[in-house]
Amino acid sequence: MALRLVQGLLIPAMLTSLMTYISQVTAKSDIARAMAWYIAATILGGFAGRAFSGLIASLLHWRFSFLFLGLPCLSPGSGWAELLMPVLCGLHARI
């Protein structure tokens, strides 16, 4: 239970830190677009996770939803967001 408390405290801090990071590495003229992509991705990810886990749980068993949704987190493809973000947004990091 204590780990859930720590998780509940750290996730909002991580999300806020990501917004700060985006604003630091993005050109000033592109910050609004980058933030829009970030917010859209978090909303879509939250919705899709709930929808797919409910579908999987109703078809199979609730434990399979953790398996199906957790496996992509272990794949090497989970680092694609870092590579695709500048391409999708047309962003160039400030140096």
Average pLDDT over residues 60-88: 72
d(CA 53, CA 67): 10
pLDDT surpasses 60 at 92: no
Select the more confidently predicted residue: 80 or 28. Answer: 28
pLDDT digits (tens, 9 = 90+) for 75-91: 666 566 666 666 555 55
What is the pLDDT, as a whole number, of residue 82?
66
Q: Do the beta carbons of residue 94 and residue 27 sit within 8 Å? A: yes
Select the more confidently predicted residue: 28 or 71. Answer: 28
Q: What is the reported pTM?
A: 0.62
